[in-house]
Structure 1
Amino acid sequence: MKIKQHAAVLGFVAAGALLLSACGSDNNAGNNTSGATSSAAGSVACGGKKSVNGDGSSAQGNAMTEFTASYVEACKDFNVAYNVSSSGDGIKNFLAKQVDFAGSDSPLKADEITKATERCAGSAPLHLPLVFGPVAIAYNLPGVELTLTPDLVAKVFSGVIKNWNDPAIKAANPSANLPEKAIGVVFRSGQSGTTDNFQKYLAAAAPQAWTKGDGKEFKGGIGDGKAKSADVASAVKATEGGITYVEVSFAKSNKLGIAKLDSGAGAVELTDATAGKAIANAKLQTATTPGDLVLDLKALYADKTAGSYPLVLVTYEIVCAKSADADTAKALKNFLTVASTTGQDRLPKIGYVPVPAEFRTKLTESIKSIS
């Protein structure tokens, strides 16, 4: 996906968005089908604020490009500007009223919910899960097909295993030609929702090997930190022997190796089907606010079902349930409606998994409730 190491703003005028969608690049996919486009145009009553802005998760950066293109196709004179930064920055700027919505790979903490309620003039914030994506253990070892267990991943990213020809890695890969080379760990610096989900996965799937906890800051204590998803992928691409955790679309666009995961029922390749099988097992937490959709991923991360790839994340669009500005609320509702319908059709070709059918009805109801 994006390989530049500076922040990108995914905002487009109508012609620009359609040009991006049509022409594409390493980072973006092609056109949506005309049928899906007409469906979006027919179901959205365009109106409200001409341009809404968001900030946050780089994991969903490419998805937001596609969502914006779908929105512009449906509503010709309207626009969304999304700044690719990090989940932490997105939340911070949302709370400070600098943006209309935040993209975050982790739900708000209790104190952030309190601040968000104040920011939303007394109404609660809503978490809307719009982007589901598998996280790849991506590496640069030319000619090597790698299988890792959760314990091995934990030990590599905590520095317990330091070399590629370590006996433990050899045991999991008896036919691989593993080099005598130091492992170069690359992690997300700053407040990263991808890091939070990765560490939660390790804590659930390898509790004996990963005792460092979770959170948005990487706690492995080793490696080289990079700011965004595109940056960690680029760093590994430039470093033979490098390894990182990154959304699969970034790993593929940089032509990195992607490790299979063996959770105990055999090695599982990361595919749409294996990630989708895991995501289908995700459950919603009990909501304290009507329309708030937060998923419980802990059980999913510890899942050992055969043929399931459990290292996945969900990116939430965080919005006010009720906005002080009616035009902003109307435009956000329209954009999110497009993103949750025809926008989802664009996701598989760029490495994401569409919102599972089990959540579609509740997601639609939550978006309709925005006022």
Structure 2
Amino acid sequence: MSLPTHIDNTPLLTLLALTIVLLHGDLTRGPGPVSAVTIRGLGATFPYSVYERWQAAYAIHRRAHQLVSISYEKTGSGTGRSWIIKHPVLWDFAGTDVPLSQDEMTKAPDLVIFPTLAGGVAIAYQLPMCKSTEGRRLNLSMEHVVGIFNGTITMWNDDALKPLNPNCPFPDEKIRVVARAQKSGTTSTFTSALSAADDNWNATFGVFSQGMNPDTYEPYHWKPGMTMVSAATHGTKTGIPAVLPQPEMVRNTSRLDT
């Protein structure tokens, strides 16, 4: 399959996502002022770009008192929560877009939880003939978004999209929908919004964070045939944060040879 050559970074829908950190209490290793301290974290990809800058700034701020090395692996919220609970000796903190469940809090009562940042979840699209820079910005209602993700709107030239987009010359092409393959807090935030907007979505799909079954290459909850992104990177040429698929990390669940 081919990846987008153009992604319009004007948000069609922006949802508030809150990222929290699960922190082990003792990060003060090292007996003297120049002893090196290594702090290891993992978890949600959503805050990765922010954490990356904070890590460098904090290390500079503390270096007169303590040599600090901080790392953060973007594994996804689910993996982050799971690993810090199962392997507390290996990990000092984890980022997650989804709060701990009661069961998780029971398993790890020593974790300290606090919010770190909030941001928007936006939908990116590849439709060169409907660029916002040319006054042809694509407009979608929540009804449209639900329809695209539940499979009732499958073509760009569907009549349902035309009233809000009179200046957009829609092509007679299928809409290829992309979602995260990993268990993701961003997926949970997004499907929570879809569930709140549409009773049928809530009854059929509900709120979920799971992506693709690694054994069957089929989505756990998304409609069959979804393109699943198993890794992502952040950033666009405009400097606006975005999550874009990497060519070697995209698998289409409807065709395993894609």
Given the two structures, how large is their TM-score scaled by the length of structure 2?
Answer: 0.67
Matched, 1:143 2:129: yes
Q: Report the counterpart of residue 245 of structure 1 in structure 2.
A: none
How far residue 126 of structure 1 moved from its aligned partner, in angstroms, is: 2.9
Matched, 1:64 2:64: no
How far residue 206 of structure 1 moved from its aligned partner, in angstroms, is: 2.8
Separation in structure 1 between the aligned mates of residue 156 and residue 60 of structure 2, nearest angstrom? 48
Residue identity opposite 1:95 in structure 2: I
Moved over 2 A (4+): 46-49, 205-211, 227-231, 251-254
Separation in structure 2 between the aligned mates of residue 226 and residue 251 of structure 1, nearest angstrom? 10
Say how many residue pairs are matched: 189
- The 5 A counterparts of 1:220-259 are 220-222=222-224, 223-230=226-233, 249-250=241-242
Separation in structure 2 between the aligned mates of residue 220 and residue 169 of structure 1, nearest angstrom? 22
Q: Report the counterpart of residue 113 of structure 2 in structure 1.
A: 127
Separation in structure 1 between the aligned mates of residue 243 and residue 184 of structure 2, nearest angstrom? 17
Separation in structure 2 between the aligned mates of residue 60 and residue 164 of structure 1, nearest angstrom? 32
Change (3 A) 1:78 1:65: same
- The 5 A counterparts of 1:10-29 are none
Q: Report the counterpart of residue 114 of structure 1 in structure 2.
A: 106
The share of aligned pairs that are identical, in percent, is 30
* 8 Å Cα contact 2:149/2:177 also seen in 1: yes
Q: Report the counterpart of residue 78 of structure 1 in structure 2.
A: 68
Q: Report the counterpart of residue 176 of structure 2 in structure 1.
A: 184
- The 5 A counterparts of 1:1-371 are 48=29, 50-76=37-63, 77-96=67-86, 97=88, 98-117=90-109, 120=110, 125-144=111-130, 145-210=137-202, 211-218=204-211, 219-222=221-224, 223-230=226-233, 249-250=241-242
Residue identity opposite 2:42 in structure 1: D
Change (3 A) 1:150 1:159: same
* 8 Å Cα contact 1:159/1:220 also seen in 2: no
Separation in structure 1 between the aligned mates of residue 244 and residue 229 of structure 2, nearest angstrom? 18
* 8 Å Cα contact 1:56/1:86 also seen in 2: yes
How far residue 69 of structure 1 moved from its aligned partner, in angstroms, is: 1.3
How far residue 57 of structure 1 moved from its aligned partner, in angstroms, is: 0.5
Residue identity opposite 1:62 in structure 2: S
Separation in structure 2 between the aligned mates of residue 100 and residue 52 of structure 1, nearest angstrom? 6
Q: Give the 3-state SS of the residue equivalent to 2:192 in structure 1.
A: helix
Change (3 A) 1:202 1:229: farther
* 8 Å Cα contact 2:177/2:227 also seen in 1: yes
**Between Structure 1 and Structure 2, which shows a larger proportion of helix residues?**
1
Q: Give the 3-state SS of the residue equivalent to 2:161 in structure 1.
A: helix
1:26-84 Cα shifts (integer Å, max 9, x gaps): xxxxxxxxxxxxxxxxxxxx964511111100111111111101111201221211111
In structure 1, stretches of 5+ residues that fail to align are 1-45, 235-247, 255-371
Question: Greater relative contact order: 1 or 2 (C-alpha under 8 angstroms, separation 6 or more)?
Answer: 1
